[in-house]
Amino acid sequence: MAAVALLSICAGVGRGQAAAQPKPLVNADIVKMVKAGLTADTIVLTIQNKPSAFETGPDELIRLKQQGVPQVVLNAMLSASNRATGPAAQQPPPQQPAQQMQPDQGPEGAWVAFYSTCPKGDLVYFNATIYANNVELARMKCNTYF
């Protein structure tokens, strides 16, 4: 009897853990939201804040466009697919020489350049590099603060 109770408790815990894992968004979810009349802004925010497993090949993108998916939503899907492509997408770009100027920046001043994102649950953190007078001061990674 105790073994049966223990098994049912373990099964309940397993079901609870499975329910805690959100189902990734797929192309059909996006079409469903568009057909329901949700705004493009709402759909983009959902894409940015939820895990996804989109198919973004040329034929799929054409099919989505034909079903009324706005371009801004397609772009968000492509961006989410690039984030999820694996460890190569999570690595920061190679270090630039310290004295190399950024294209839009003058010779003096301070600015922040965002080089990637770090999804954490329902939040997305930005990885940033901090520059002053064309010198890289700090490269921030996930969960680091300046």
Residues 78-130: pLDDT tens digits? 998 887 665 544 555 555 555 555 555 555 677 677 667 777 777 776 677 77
**pLDDT at residue 136, rounded to an integer:** 72
User: Residue 146 and residue 129: Cα distance in Å, rounded?
Assistant: 10
Q: 31, 61 in Cβ contact below 8 A?
A: no
For the entire predicted model, the pTM comes to 0.47
**Residue 29: Cβ within 10 Å count:** 18
Residue with more model confidence, 55 or 139 = 55
